[in-house]
């Protein structure tokens, strides 16, 4: 046995333990261990049944994604699965942690599945732009039926053990902490009962009722058209599940293999597999010593009970960390606390929370009117108005109130953190925690590392991100940090381009077609043109529309006209305002442009800004920029984000396109284009 697998026999039960940290992925070492272990037990007459169990944090969590695209050594998954499924002795999968993807497919190959209540099982391959390629699309429908399989596999969410038991995804629950004993007992009971060995692949009762009904799949795709738009995997998943109902098992497996192969070689899957690791890279800071200890954060203070302050507060309440929420006026404080309570009550109304969980969270919240209330907290997060004077005033006062060692964080989305830190006696304890609205929902957290932010405070910020289930990217100080800065050229270019001929709907349709949920003009009308243009004294296109009472969807239309159901239509009035403004700016109408040209005009400058953020050292790596744009601005994940997409387009083409627009490409971009380099291809 290689060191990944250990075998033992206890009262006639063969126990194969897999131990391949961190998540027992189905690497070549794991496959060899499985192959050797099951062959050994098959040949051992003293073994009457087999338990497959894992050491460490989880049962097998899937194929080893880092192996994809490389030569796969050792026995392949199918060979290993055939040994297990072709055996004559009952096999019990003993599950803890998360049995996902190939891990759960392996559990489906076993004859039975037992799990502890804290375990989860699922087939999340869709998040990698793939489908379960080791029989999951053929076996799971045979257990849960076609409709449930469609949701489970196109959704990809892990299913908690209790629910999995109800669905039939597992056969029994073990007692928490007693998985090994209960799995052995379960296996011994099987031996004592004898009876036929029922393989999942042989079951028909759950797929029979759906045979010969192609409308199930067309209806399903129609119902989910919006969610599946632009992705490839969901469509292939539905085809594979249809095969489970329509074809004999072996042919269904062949169909699954073909559909899997199409996805594995697609750009979409390459982008989504890249993104899987990119999300995890963001927490790695090369020059932060690995053994840097994080400071304790057992209590938090939030200053500002507005939209951001309230959302930020909820993150910590959700993690069971008490929060003192400070606001200057009672009315604003009451409003802020009321919004938090209402948010939780709405979640409870949807059945995603219980009433007592609402109360638990609310008891962790202490409203206060004085900054003094923050004198004992470990971390203070300032979320006041985005004005340097106000922030400096707050930090100056905080510095005198907060206890020694307390971390002072700003939620600023733009301002110079070092300048804020300069008014305190503890700049090493000042850090930026830039949340995105709504802060309790958006997973992105930009951690802004000031010039003097200490390693311990940075390590603490990274740990806080994990504690409140955020995805961190670390930014140095710079205007707009990463996401806001890199994405700002998109709207700027749109406002310029709309003067040159393409209409708002041409531009919005092109950007929608690329994969964004909404184009910049529809977004402007939604947010409110008076909000977007606020603070600008010079004449702007938005301002011209606002002067006509065209504030957007909320009042009088904006770039579009809206009916009483807020359905948009092209606006002759807006067209005239645009033409007048173009004349005022001396911009010539050059007529319409192709969708491809519009996408390049709006998004190549985003790539260029990303290159600048990299060369200035504001972002650590290109993939952090992709994570920031995907999570912060809903950049379509199946393109990999601006920097991955730049490599897909080809950097020389991006450079040429920028120059054609009269935009000077960033030095780093030109260098990489000239040297055949890439941002994200290793
Ligand atoms: N392959 C390789 N490395 C993996 C991995 C995997 N499947 N899953 C996690 N890691 C690494 C991860 O990069 C990180 O590394 C460390 O493990 C801890 O991960 C044939 C084709 C299991 C729920 O999609 O969802 O099976 O950063 O930080 O928060 O049909 O990892 O420490 O160096 O996420 O506790 C299907 C993906 C694969 C599961 C644990 N399986 N993983 O979460 O830790 S495709 C998945 C997860 C497949 C078959 C198909 C999560 C987790 P490092 P982590 P975590």
Residue 345 has a pLDDT of: 97
Query: Using an 8 Å Cβ cutoff, are 373 and 401 in contact?
Result: no
Ligand 1 pocket test, candidate residues 18, 23, 98, 276, most atoms within 8 A of CB: 23
Condensed to tens digits (0 to 9), the pLDDT of residues 377-429 reads: 999 999 999 999 999 999 999 999 999 999 999 999 999 999 999 999 999 99
Query: Using an 8 Å Cβ cutoff, are 550 and 521 in contact?
Result: no
Is 131's C-beta closer than 6 angstroms to any atom of ligand 1?
no
Is 309's C-beta closer than 6 angstroms to any atom of ligand 1?
no
The closest residue, in CA terms, to atom 18 on ligand 1 is 22
Residue 66 CA: nearest ligand 1 atom is 2
Structure tokens at 184: 């052995």
Is 23's C-beta closer than 6 angstroms to any atom of ligand 1?
yes
In Å, how far are 374, 407, 430, 446, 516 from 410, measured between CA atoms? 15, 10, 8, 11, 30
The pLDDT averaged over each successive group of 10 residues in the chain (682 residues) is: 88 97 96 96 97 98 88 87 94 98 97 98 97 97 98 97 97 97 97 91 96 97 97 98 97 98 96 96 96 97 96 98 97 97 96 95 98 98 96 97 98 96 98 96 98 98 98 97 97 97 98 96 93 77 94 93 93 97 96 97 98 98 98 97 98 98 97 97 86
Residue 127 CA: nearest ligand 1 atom is 24
Residue 531 has a pLDDT of: 82
The closest residue, in CA terms, to atom 22 on ligand 1 is 61
Residue 505 has a pLDDT of: 97
Is 22's C-beta closer than 6 angstroms to any atom of ligand 1?
yes
Residue 69 has a pLDDT of: 79
Ligand 1 pocket test, candidate residues 27, 59, 61, most atoms within 8 A of CB: 61
The CA 228 to ligand 1 mean position distance, Å, reads: 23
Residue 532 has a pLDDT of: 75
- Whole-number Å distance between alpha carbons of 232 and 135: 19
The closest residue, in CA terms, to atom 32 on ligand 1 is 22
The CA 25 to ligand 1 mean position distance, Å, reads: 7
Dihedral pair phi/psi, residue 353, rounded to 5°: -155, 155
In Å, how far are 40, 187, 334, 368, 388 from 329, measured between CA atoms? 73, 65, 9, 9, 21
Active-site residue numbers?
A: 105, 125
The vertex-69 CA angle with 66 and 71, nearest 5°, equals 95
Residue 73 has a pLDDT of: 84
pTM recorded for the entire structure? 0.94
Query: Using an 8 Å Cβ cutoff, are 310 and 340 in contact?
Result: yes
Query: Using an 8 Å Cβ cutoff, are 628 and 614 in contact?
Result: no
Q: What element of type H or E holds 496?
A: helix 483-497
The CA 23 to ligand 1 mean position distance, Å, reads: 7
Angle, to 10 degrees, between the axis of helix 667-675 and the axis of helix 651-660? 130
Residue linked to tokens 């291809």: 681
Is 102's C-beta closer than 6 angstroms to any atom of ligand 1?
yes
DSSP state of 557: B
Decide if the complex's ipTM is over 0.85. yes
């Amino acid at each position: 046995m290689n060191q990944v697998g250990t075998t033992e026999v206890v009262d006639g039960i063969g126990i194969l333990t897999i131990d391949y940290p961190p998540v027992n992925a189905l690497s070549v070492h794991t496959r060899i261990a499985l192959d050797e272990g099951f062959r050994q037990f098959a040949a051992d007459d003293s073994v009457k049944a087999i338990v497959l169990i894992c050491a460490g944090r989880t049962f097998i969590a899937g194929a080893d994604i880092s192996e994809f695209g490389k030569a796969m050594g050792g026995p392949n998954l199918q060979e290993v699965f055939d040994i297990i499924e072709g055996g004559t002795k009952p096999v019990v999968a003993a599950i803890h942690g998360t049995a996902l993807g190939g891990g759960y497919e392996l559990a489906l190959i076993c004859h039975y599945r037992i799990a502890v209540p804290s375990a989860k099982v699922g087939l999340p391959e869709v998040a990698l732009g793939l489908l379960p390629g080791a029989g999951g699309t053929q076996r799971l429908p045979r257990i849960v039926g076609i409709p449930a399989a469609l949701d489970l596999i196109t959704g990809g969410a892990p299913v908690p053990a209790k629910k999995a038991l109800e669905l039939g995804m597992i056969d029994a629950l073990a007692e928490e902490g007693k998985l090994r004993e209960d799995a052995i007992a379960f296996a011994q009971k099987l031996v004592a009962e004898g009876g036929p060995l029922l393989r999942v692949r042989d079951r028909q009762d759950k797929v029979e009722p759906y045979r010969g009904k192609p409308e199930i799949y067309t209806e399903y795709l129609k119902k989910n058209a919006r969610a599946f738009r632009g992705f490839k995997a969901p469509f292939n998943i539905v085809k594979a599940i249809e095969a489970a109902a329509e074809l004999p098992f072996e042919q269904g497996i062949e169909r699954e293999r073909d559909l899997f192969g199409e996805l594995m070689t697609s750009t979409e899957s390459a982008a989504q597999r890249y993104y899987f690791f990119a999300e995890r890279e963001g927490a790695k800071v090369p020059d932060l010593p690995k053994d840097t200890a994080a400071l304790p954060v057992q209590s938090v203070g939030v200053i500002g009970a507005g939209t951001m302050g309230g959302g930020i507060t909820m993150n910590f309440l959700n993690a069971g960390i008490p929060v003192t929420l400070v606001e200057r006026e009672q009315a604003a404080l009451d409003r802020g606390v009321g919004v938090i309570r209402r948010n939780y009550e709405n979640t409870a109304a949807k059945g995603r929370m219980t009433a007592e969980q609402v109360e638990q969270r609310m008891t962790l919240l202490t409203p206060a009117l004085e900054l003094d209330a923050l004198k004992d907290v470990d971390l203070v997060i300032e979320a006041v108005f985005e004005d340097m004077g106000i922030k400096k005033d707050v930090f100056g006062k905080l510095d005198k109130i907060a206890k020694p060692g307390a971390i002072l964080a700003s939620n600023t989305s733009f301002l110079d953190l070092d300048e804020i830190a300069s008014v305190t006696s503890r700049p090493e304890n000042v850090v930026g925690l830039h949340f995105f609205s709504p802060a309790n929902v958006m997973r992105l957290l930009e951690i802004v590392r000031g010039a003097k932010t200490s390693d311990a405070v940075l390590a603490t910020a990274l740990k806080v991100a994990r504690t409140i289930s955020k995805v961190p990217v670390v930014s140095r100080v710079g205007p707009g940090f990463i996401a806001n800065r890199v994405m700002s050229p998109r709207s700027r270019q749109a406002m310029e381009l709309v003067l040159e001929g393409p209409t708002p709907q041409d531009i919005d349709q092109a950007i929608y077609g690329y994969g964004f949920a909404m184009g910049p003009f529809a977004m402007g009308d939604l947010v409110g043109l008076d909000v977007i243009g606020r603070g600008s004294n010079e004449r702007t296109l938005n301002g011209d529309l606002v002067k006509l009472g065209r504030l957007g969807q909320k009042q009088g239309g904006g770039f579009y006209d809206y009916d009483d159901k807020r359905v948009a239509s092209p606006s002759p009035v807006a067209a005239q305002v645009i033409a007048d403004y173009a004349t005022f700016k001396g911009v010539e109408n050059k007529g319409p442009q192709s969708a491809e040209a519009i996408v390049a005009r709006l998004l190549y400058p985003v790539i260029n800004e990303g290159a600048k953020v990299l060369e200035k050292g504001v972002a650590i790596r290109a993939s952090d920029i992709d994570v920031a744009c995907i999570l912060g601005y809903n950049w379509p994940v199946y393109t990999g984000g601006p920097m991955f997409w730049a490599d897909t387009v080809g950097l020389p083409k991006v450079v040429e396109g920028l120059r054609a627009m009269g935009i000077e490409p960033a030095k780093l971009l030109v260098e990489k284009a000239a040297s055949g380099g890439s941002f994200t291809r290793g």
